[in-house]
Chain A
Amino acid sequence: MTPTCPNHQQLSSFHDGELSSVETSRCREHLKSCPVCRDVVSRFAQLDKLVTSAQMPCPVKREASFWQKSLAFVATVGIAVGLLTYFREPPPASQAKVYKFTAQGEDYVISVKGDAYLVSMQMGDTTTTYDQP
């Protein structure tokens, strides 16, 4: 800027249309011949445009890191196992099957656990219990 140039504040006021009519025409005349001041005023216009269109930046979705992915995987597996454990059917109570029959005039009551072993046998009034393995 040369000594004859309007100062920054005058250029700013000129841009806003706040100078008196005399100052405005003087400034306008000067701008015709001064590329430096023209550049300053054009920057004001550019700045106004930026201020008017200023927008908050959109947060960018970032790719999850290896550790985040691993943690998510472990958490998912943990939750799945927990839910399965909580909701699975309880194991059937191992109850002995009881068979009642009469043979040769005697009443028999036989308790059998699973298919494997005899638990007890009742013949008439006598009950025999067998040790469980």
Chain B
Amino acid sequence: MAKSMDIENSFRTHRPQLVGFCVRMLGDRPLAEDIVQDVFLKACAQANEEPSAAWLYQCARNRCIDHHRRRGKWSRLKALLGRDHRQEGFESELLDKEVGWKILCSLPEKMRAILVLRAYVGLGYSELAEVFDMTTSSVGVLLSRARQKACTLMEKEMQQ
């Protein structure tokens, strides 16, 4: 009973941001919601106590990677990016959101995941280290590289 309450609490606390994370990894909200549901089902089946945020994001990330592997890696996202989605009269805010999306799609999976988990979810270095199974100093290096690459892409996008 206590275990199911823990999972329920965890579901309520982490679900919105887990879905947001998966949406940014997959570009598909219904699929992201399915994956988050799977993650909590796995948590119910395996965990003996309330699962940590790091465990949940690690599990969600693995599911997203599995999905990309099954779907021929990034082919779907590349197809998405290949299209011209812009329309005259769009609000600049919406274009900013699209720029953010384009930058994320252009990054390798690991860099994208770490940027989203840091900026959107707000995980600290120690939690990120747990998610990516690396040391905190490696997290710093990976984040710095991801930012360097993303900033270059951002400048290119802004110039266009």
Contact = CB atoms under 8 A, between A and B. Distances in A.
A47 B158 CA distance: 12
A54 B100 contact: yes
Interface in A39-85: 40, 43-44, 46-60
B119 A52 contact: yes
Contacts of B87: 60
Given A48-B118, A57-B85, 11 more contacts: A8-B144, A12-B147, A16-B143, A44-B147, A47-B115, A47-B119, A50-B96, A50-B99, A51-B100, A56-B23, A57-B80
Interface stretch (B54-62, B65-73, B148-156): B148-156
Nearest to A60: B87
Contact of B125 (A16, A44, A46, A48): A16
Interface of B: 23-24, 27-29, 80, 83-87, 93-94, 96-101, 103-104, 115-116, 118-120, 124-125, 136, 140-141, 143-144, 147-148, 150-151, 154
Contacts of A9: 140-141, 144
Contacts of A52: 100, 119-120
Contacts, number: 90
A52 B23 CA distance: 11
A18 interface: yes
Nearest to B126: A18
Nearest to A43: B151
A25 interface: no
Contacts of B100: 49-55
The residue among A11, A12, A40, A58 with the most chain B CB atoms within 10 A of its own CB is: A12
Contacts of B140: 9, 12-13, 18
A93 B118 CA distance: 82
Interface of A: 8-9, 11-13, 16, 18, 40, 43-44, 46-60
Contacts of B147: 8, 12, 44, 47
Contact of B119 (A48, A57, A60): A48
A47 B154 contact: yes
A54 B124 contact: no
Contacts of B24: 51, 54
B154 A51 contact: no
Given A18-B140, A56-B27, A8 B148 contact: yes
B118 A16 contact: yes
Contact of A55 (B83, B101, B116, B141): B101
B85 A58 contact: yes
12 contacts: A11-B144, A13-B143, A16-B118, A18-B125, A18-B140, A44-B151, A47-B150, A47-B154, A50-B103, A51-B119, A54-B24, A56-B23
Contact of B97 (A11, A55, A60): A55
